[in-house]
Structure 1
Amino acid sequence: MKRERIRHGWLTAGESARQAVVGSLLLWTCSSAVAAQSTPPPFKLLGYEEDYRYLADTDRVGWARLKYIPAGEHGWLSLGGESRTLYDYRDHPGFGRFAGDSDGYWQQRLRVWGDYRVNPNLRVFGELASSFVSDLQTRPVQSVDRNTLELAQGFAEISSGELSSSQPTPTWRLRVGRQQIAYGWQRLLDPRDPANSRMPFDAARLLYTQSRWSGGLLWGHAVETRIGGFDDRTNDAQRLWGAHVEVPLLASAPKVAKLEALYLDTEQKNRRYSNGVIGEDRRHTLSARLSGADKGWDYDLELIGQRGSFGEQQVRAWQGTLFAGYTFDQSAWKPRLGFRLEASSGDRDANDGEVNTFNGLFSRASVFDGSMITSNVRYFGPDLVLKPTPKLWLNVYVLALQRQSLDDGIYAAGWRVIQPGSANRERDIGVRKVIWLKYRFNDFVTLDVYANHTSAGPFLRQGATRGQDYFYIAPYLTLRF
């Protein structure tokens, strides 16, 4: 039955979705032709972090002509873009507590940006984005689904300029304007890439780099994204400022051990937790992250503590994460066998004058579909990555999900309560099984298939609504230049 519904969803998708796919295929053809002429370095999550100065003294053909365009006496312009077409199918959203589209729906995201380096000391970056959905029927369209046309990013940057060929990064940079932000593994700050519409910040950032360490300061507000055209605005209800520092612990081998620290002072109004109270959430968040890789081993350890206030209550919350693994690089398919462990605090007592629910602030989703956030959840289990060919990548992991506190509930993206803590005293939420397949046709075109099946455990099966197993699948085609 489930396979029939998925197949039916593909067959009954709207004409606009079909046109989006056709458009993407045409871009695919163009990208393939360009790829045959020039090979780019790996694209980055944030386009403004890419640097194509190395093309200045080369014979630029195909793709390279767009990435380095001489402009002005000392300047150059770089153009980039993305098209992503995604089919979203969910069975029993919220474990049967939220409405869903039985046939799924289509998403289309288009982004184009330009990076103008006026001279070594001045830079202007701008990005336009458009996102829309087709065949979404069971809930109102939200800004994460559709944003007709928007200035997704637009900032100016002044800097100390290039120091030397061995130190191409400016010592300091002051960046002011609308920008997307990511730090570390994005457990606290993330541009919301899985969603159809990314989330930027209206912010000022001072960035500093030298040979042994780098860091910076941040002040600003999140942007309130809306579904219309050019109607996004600064969200005065979500303010933040903070500082970040990054230090390689071994100068001779910087990839072996890197220590990062991030401090954020945030204010989020109209926050609601499972007890139903709405208030202003003010937090001081401090994160320490140690990561690295050596001789096949890799690890990522992060500890986060939070203090502050929620209305008249005090905030005391935390999160701890350890991802580690070993890659058998000389074996067929280059398997990486790893382990994932994460725990986030939940509220211990609704009447003790404290809020202990961890707030991930602007973190990346724990799963691509945003079906559950990490607050009051601990999970652990094995993680396997395979690379059968240079173009094919496969990630499979299985996680046991449990509540950290039996007095708090669990939440979906947007802090929607899936099940309140008062429903029962069970700890086991269920078991999550994820398969993520990525096939790279060329340097510009990739096809992903992401699937998540999470069983409903005792905590979800007992309550006002009996929980049902949740299933999600999303094939999506991404084109980037």
Structure 2
Amino acid sequence: MRRRAAGLLTALLLAVPSMAADDAVTAGLDLRLRWESLDHGDWADGGDARLLHRAMPWLDVSAQPLHVRLRGIAAGVEGMRDRPGPPDRTGLDLLEAAVGIDLAQGGDIDLMLTVGRALLGLGSERLVGRRYGANVPQPFDGARMRVAGGGWQVDLLALRPVIAGSGDLDDAPGQGRFLRGAYATIDAGQGTLDAYLLATGQDTARYAQGAGRESRRTAGLRLAGSDGNWTWNGEGMWQWGRFAGTEIRAWSLASEVGYRLPGPGLSPRLLLRANIASGDASPADGRLGTFNPLYPRAKYFGELTPIGPRNMVNLHPGLELDLGAGFQLSAAGVFYWRQRRADGLYGLSGQVLRPAEPDAGRFVGRQGELVLGWEGRGLTAAASFSLFRPGRFVRGTGPARTITLVGLELGWSL
């Protein structure tokens, strides 16, 4: 893999000087430094204070009909008690190395083929996201064909998710994972309508009922838009396929409604998010009912996201305030229940946090969060405080300490 990545990087760099002098060339550097103190992760004793650092230089070259994007990354973490995973660290690697080719220009239909390694965010990134809030974003290798016309576009995907390694130039697809399908977006007047069909798979998926090979299909519809002070974003997803010799039947509903209060001062915006992700009804019925969010965005429920959208009912009210001079303040409360008593509790990446315990109740816990952010002149800064108080289910199945997270973050884009 190192030879292939180095060869691709060399070929792309050699192609850049050969382009005409009037071609559009842009370059930059994104830096991020984040300190955070996490106590009682997974509701257990202990904690750590960690420093995450990331540098991402990038280069874009556009010379019709070609578009070249290069983005490198070097990311690490100091002071983490647990072993860092792929979202936490990587050596010096290629985050993006892609070539786009305009196959049709000047007509009613635009047609572009992109091949190589690239970040990908679909819709609200509930299913396929760039994972940009984590220290190491999620790239994909493969090809994407975009067909677009007046008020609509369709992306055809044939991709493999890249798994970050801890060394240099060792990021590569693996574990039998793939992502294929079609994602369509249509202008719906005051918003957009998305419709999609995605196929995914992996060699070893783990759920409360066991582990095995998984092949899953996801069909969904999403409607998002705004009207005056109102905004909305709703999505429904249905999944089917096979897992370890059994059939999959799972689903999820996700929604967000926002309203900005009229009048001068602070521009307060009220938010209400409500989500349901199905769980498994019985480990003995020959069917898996646990929803799989595939490759979702990081910080799914906030700065602190100890739980993922699997076997979950979630209610999430929030408030956003514009303090002026580039400052914003947000506050949120989140309440979690299990959707099915016969299924367990899962993390964002799919790990089983607690096994199924039908008699332990549905209520998982409640979370509160405050975030103060600032942005200006290429700089961003944020300070956050989050806590998670466990409910009956967590208290009845293991350690049940209150999780706290304090975060300080600086970003700089050149």
* TM-score normalised per structure 1: 0.79
Q: Residue 420 of structure 1 is aligned with which of 355, 358, 362?
A: 355
Helix, strand or coil for the counterpart of 1:195? coil
What's the Cα RMSD here? 1.9
Structure 1 counterpart of 2:366 = 431
User: 1:319 aligned to 2:252?
Assistant: yes
User: 1:116 aligned to 2:116?
Assistant: no
Helix, strand or coil for the counterpart of 2:349? helix
How far apart in 2 are the matches of 1:373 and 1:326? 26
Q: Residue 77 of structure 2 is aligned with which of 122, 133, 136?
A: 133
How far apart in 2 are the matches of 1:269 and 1:369? 29
Superposition deviation, residue 371 in structure 1: 1.6
The C-alpha deviation readout for 1:338-368, integer Å capped at 9, x for no partner, is 2110010011100000111110000114233
User: 1:455 aligned to 2:389?
Assistant: yes
Structure 1 counterpart of 2:90 = 147
How far apart in 2 are the matches of 1:325 and 1:226? 39
Query: Do the aligned residues in 2 keep the contact of 1:175 with 1:206 (CA within 8 Å)?
Result: yes
Structure 1 counterpart of 2:406 = 473
User: 1:273 aligned to 2:216?
Assistant: no
Q: Residue 262 of structure 1 is aligned with which of 196, 199, 216?
A: 196
Pair 1:436–1:264, CA change in 2 (3 A) = same
Pair 1:332–1:81, CA change in 2 (3 A) = same
Helix, strand or coil for the counterpart of 1:459? helix
Query: Do the aligned residues in 2 keep the contact of 1:206 with 1:217 (CA within 8 Å)?
Result: yes
Q: How does 1:117-196 map to 2 (within 5 A)?
A: 117=62, 119-136=63-80, 138-160=81-103, 163=106, 171-196=110-135
How far apart in 1 are the matches of 2:115 and 2:46? 40
Q: Residue 336 of structure 2 is aligned with which of 391, 396, 401?
A: 401
Superposition deviation, residue 460 in structure 1: 0.6
Superposition deviation, residue 467 in structure 1: 1.2
Moved more, 334-343 or 416-425: 416-425
Query: Do the aligned residues in 2 keep the contact of 1:423 with 1:462 (CA within 8 Å)?
Result: no
Pair 1:390–1:293, CA change in 2 (3 A) = farther
Superposition deviation, residue 236 in structure 1: 5.1
Q: Residue 206 of structure 1 is aligned with which of 145, 152, 157?
A: 145
Superposition deviation, residue 242 in structure 1: 0.8
Superposition deviation, residue 71 in structure 1: 5.9
Q: How does 1:345-424 map to 2 (within 5 A)?
A: 345-365=278-298, 366-367=300-301, 368-422=303-357, 424=359
Superposition deviation, residue 225 in structure 1: 1.1
Q: Which amino acid aligns with 2:199?
A: D
Query: Do the aligned residues in 1 keep the contact of 2:29 with 2:56 (CA within 8 Å)?
Result: yes
Superposition deviation, residue 234 in structure 1: 2.1
Structure 2 counterpart of 1:249 = 188
Q: Which runs of 5+ in 1 are unaligned?
A: 1-68, 251-255
Q: How does 1:439-450 map to 2 (within 5 A)?
A: 439-440=374-375, 442-450=376-384
Query: Do the aligned residues in 2 keep the contact of 1:394 with 1:438 (CA within 8 Å)?
Result: yes
Helix, strand or coil for the counterpart of 1:227? coil
The C-alpha deviation readout for 1:416-469, integer Å capped at 9, x for no partner, is 2222112733011111112222111x2300101233211110111112x23121
How far apart in 1 are the matches of 2:84 and 2:155? 37
Q: Which amino acid aligns with 1:101?
A: G
Q: Residue 52 of structure 2 is aligned with which of 107, 121, 131?
A: 107
Query: Do the aligned residues in 1 keep the contact of 2:341 with 2:358 (CA within 8 Å)?
Result: no
User: 1:80 aligned to 2:28?
Assistant: yes
Superposition deviation, residue 70 in structure 1: 12
Query: Do the aligned residues in 1 keep the contact of 2:229 with 2:259 (CA within 8 Å)?
Result: yes
Moved more, 322-331 or 285-294: 322-331
Q: Which amino acid aligns with 2:30?
A: E
Q: Give the structure with the larger strand fraction.
A: 2
Superposition deviation, residue 334 in structure 1: 0.2
The C-alpha deviation readout for 1:14-60, integer Å capped at 9, x for no partner, is xxxxxxxxxxxxxxxxxxxxxxxxxxxxxxxxxxxxxxxxxxxxxxx
Query: Do the aligned residues in 2 keep the contact of 1:132 with 1:145 (CA within 8 Å)?
Result: yes
Helix, strand or coil for the counterpart of 1:408? coil
How far apart in 2 are the matches of 1:81 and 1:370? 28
Superposition deviation, residue 133 in structure 1: 1.2
How far apart in 1 are the matches of 2:133 and 2:32? 10
Q: Residue 242 of structure 2 is aligned with which of 309, 324, 334?
A: 309
How far apart in 2 are the matches of 1:345 and 1:190? 20
How far apart in 2 are the matches of 1:141 and 1:337? 36
Q: Which amino acid aligns with 2:307?
A: M
Q: Which amino acid aligns with 1:85?
A: L
Superposition deviation, residue 212 in structure 1: 2.1
Helix, strand or coil for the counterpart of 1:455? strand
Q: Which runs of 5+ in 2 are unaligned?
A: 1-16
Q: Which amino acid aligns with 1:248?
A: D
How far apart in 2 are the matches of 1:81 and 1:394? 27
